Amino acid sequence: MNYTKVAGDQPFPSDRYQCYLPIGGATGNGAGTYYFKIRSASEHPNYFDKPYQVVFWTNTVAADYVTAPTTEAEPNGGGDCGESNNVILLGKRKNATIDNTGCKTDEFALTISAADFNAAGDTIWFKMVNTGGGGLGDMTDHYVYGLWNGALGADVQSQMKFQTATDFTNLPSGQGSMSYLNF
C-alpha cells in the first residue's frame, strides 16, 4: 500500500483524462475479449466504497450517453481473485464502486467483434468517471492495473495510453512538459 500522497491530497479527477488501447493494424490486438482490472491506487480507506462509472468505445462504435447505465454485480474481481467478472458491452456505461472487500478489484470483460472496429487501425477508448455527489471527498484514486487480451493470452497493459484535454507541453515555468506521472 502507498499512502504517501493521501494526507491532504485529493485524487486527480478521472473525468479529466481517458485511456486508450490501439487495436487493429499492426498492433496485434483484434477481435476477442479484453479483461480490464480496476482498483484503488493507494488502497487507503478514504477511497473505498466510492462510486464511479466506466464506458468503453471504439472509433466505429460510439459511447452511448443516452441509455441508462447498468450496475456491476459483486464480487467481480475476476479469475485472479477466484471470482466472476462483469461483462460490459461496447458503448454502454456501467456504474461501479471501488471495493473494500475480497481482493479489492473490479474486473470488466469487454468482447470486441470484427464489426466493432476498423481492422486497418482503430482504438478502444475507455473512461472511468467519478460519480459521487460529495465533491472532492467523494472521488476515488482508481486506475487500470491489469489489461489482458484473451485472444492473445497476453498482458497488454503496457500498450495502454493516457490522453488528457490539457496541454502541458509549453508551461510558463519553463520546467518542461508534464504527464500523468506528475499527478
| DSSP strands (E only) in the chain | 17-23, 32-40, 51-58, 70-71, 86-88, 93-97, 106-112, 122-130, 142-149, 154-155, 161-164
pLDDT at 166 over 60: yes
Q: What is the mean pLDDT of the segment spanning 175-182?
A: 62
Q: Write down all domains in the chain, each with its CATH number in brackets.
A: 14-164 (2.60.120)
Across 3-16, average pLDDT: 61
**Among 91-95, 106-110, 160-164, the least confident range:** 160-164
The CB density around residue 136, as the number of other CB atoms within 10 Å, is 10
Reduced to 3 states, what is the DSSP secondary structure of residue 55?
A: strand
- Give tens-digit pLDDT for 105-118: 999 999 999 999 99
Tell me the pTM: 0.86
**DSSP percent split of the chain into helix, strand, coil, nearest 5:** 10, 35, 55
Could you give the CA distance from residue 155 to residue 24 in angstroms, rounded to a whole number?
17
Is residue 183's pLDDT more than 60?
no
The answer on pLDDT for 135 being more than 80 is: no
